[in-house]
Structure 1
Amino acid sequence: MNNNSKIKNCFITGGTRGIGKTLVERFANDNYRVFFTYANSTVKATALEQQIQEQGLIAKGFQVDSRKPEMLSQLIHSIITEFGPIDLLINNAGICEDVLDVRTLNMSDFDRNVDINLKAVFVTVQAAIMEMPDRGRIINIGSNLGDIARNGTMVLYSMTKSALQGYTRAMAHALGKRRITVNLIQPGPIKTDMNPDDNEKADYLRSFMALPEYGKTEDIASLAAYLASDAGNYITGSIITIDGGMNA
């Protein structure tokens, strides 16, 4: 891999599909050395690496279990040791589980959602900020369901995404003197292979939206790129919802 010191380092969790894949592609094209994690999709991760490297750009995937914080922190430390500090951290990995009857929820469900949607964010931030340069960037990816729970089927998901709001705001203050910005992007319905715009819930979701159409993964990546750029220097502690007006 290219060790050119002029290339900034970007670390993205959950980078092989949907929003995460587009984030990897966008920041590689923006001349970042991109490191991304994935849980199981080794074939997709390898294909993404090759796709980007064939363009003369830099990306490397790492298989990590987000429920094992020591794996995440060790990975970040090893990247910092070999390639230097992480300039941009994007916490994108997460799980979203429908539960038709909340009476079936148990502590294992609670722990799984908290571990992946919250604890992993805490761990990556703690590891990255030890060496993150002044004016670094942290972007957390949440959900518009952190603001408004449209139904009772995603109790734990909404809980964890709401918690990200408080964490993001507090960390913005904690890191402000170092001019490190911390922001939260809250996507609404975004068209992906796992969330097509013709699924059984699509018309129901569109009924709440001012713009009755699903967003694109590029919409999220473009906003993240703006926050990571010099144009985003003065934006921190912000919760930016991008959902076609669903929560308006």
Structure 2
Amino acid sequence: MSDLTGKVALVTGGSRGIGAAIARRLADEGAAVALTYVQAADGARQVVKRIEAAGGTAVAIQADLTRPNAAAEAVEQTVRELGRLDILVNNAGFLTYGPLAEVSAEELDRVLAVDVRSVFLAAQAAANHMTDGGRIISIGSCFNGRVPFPNFVLQATAKSALIGLTKGLARELGPRGITATIVDPGPIDTDMNPADGDSAEVQRDLTALGQYGEADDIANAVAYLAGPGGRYITGTALAVDGGYTA
């Protein structure tokens, strides 16, 4: 268990899938949670209701992270509504694939805006509010360590950028007692990559455990890094991938 009582967390892309599981788990550990969504207002409300029904505190923030100012605005709104910010979880992102020749400049800009630029800007804004013990946790991808398929150049590019960003944050913010880490999921059963999808058997076979993970597996890792157990872990990535990169 990770005691997060009295902490405030912001989870981007928290209305469904991995983001929703993270928001619920941090709330279960005692944190007040803000979560962002783009269009899935109903999903965001359901996550908030679930947290409140369990006695927690949560707010949903509409934020289109393709807009340059949206990430920082979400941070500022979290601080206004919940009083502070201790934990930033950069979860929002796209699962993108397709032949290199078919990736348009517009698609490249859109993916990098959410997967990289919004992470940078959210961290920049969050650092203005965090004190000793702050946590910046970004959700990466197993493609950071292994790209066994063609057609994933854009996905691998966007998620791999988090490695340098996280190491830089760790060095710059470490003297203030703020850590920066990445969690790299493998095949996780969500609506974006269902365990019964067309490519599920191939993905399953690439793991050492021979199975998909669940969103709660990622949430458990995030909760650990956000809590006391993560105090001496920074500038690195934790693979939660069933041995995909073994």
Q: Structure 1-normalised TM-score?
A: 0.94
Shift of residue 82, structure 1, vs aligned partner: 4.2
Would the aligned equivalents of 1:18 and 1:192 in 2 still touch at CA under 8 Å?
yes
Would the aligned equivalents of 1:142 and 1:164 in 2 still touch at CA under 8 Å?
yes
Q: 1 or 2 for the larger relative contact order (CA 8 Å, sep ≥6)?
A: 2
Equivalent in the alignment of 2:197: 199
Once the two structures are superposed, residues 21-63 of structure 1 have per-residue CA deviations (whole angstroms, 9 ceiling, x without a partner) of: 1001101111111000011111111122112212221111111
Shift of residue 152, structure 1, vs aligned partner: 2.0
SS of residue matched to 2:150: coil
Equivalent in the alignment of 1:235: 233
Distance 2:110 2:76 in 1: 24
Which amino acid in structure 2 is aligned with residue 28 of structure 1? A
Which is worse superposed, 79-88 or 122-131?
Answer: 79-88
Equivalent in the alignment of 2:90: 91
Distance 2:186 2:103 in 1: 25
Would the aligned equivalents of 1:96 and 1:154 in 2 still touch at CA under 8 Å?
no
Structure 1 128/212 Cα, relative in aligned 2: closer, same or farther at 3 Å? same
What are the ranges of 5 or more consecutive residues in structure 1 without an aligned counterpart? 1-5
Equivalent in the alignment of 1:165: 163
Distance 2:125 2:65 in 1: 14
Aligned pairs (5 A) from 1:33-112? 33-99=32-98, 101-112=99-110
Distance 1:41 1:21 in 2: 12
Once the two structures are superposed, residues 195-226 of structure 1 have per-residue CA deviations (whole angstroms, 9 ceiling, x without a partner) of: 22111101111221110000111111111111
Distance 2:119 2:30 in 1: 24
Distance 1:238 1:106 in 2: 31
Structure 1 45/132 Cα, relative in aligned 2: closer, same or farther at 3 Å? same
SS of residue matched to 1:177: helix
Would the aligned equivalents of 2:131 and 2:177 in 1 still touch at CA under 8 Å?
no
Give the % identical residues.
37
Distance 2:111 2:199 in 1: 22
Shift of residue 189, structure 1, vs aligned partner: 0.2
Shift of residue 85, structure 1, vs aligned partner: 2.5
Aligned pairs (5 A) from 1:90-239? 90-99=89-98, 101-239=99-237
Distance 2:68 2:201 in 1: 38
Count residues in correspondence. Answer: 242
Q: Structure 2-normalised TM-score?
A: 0.95
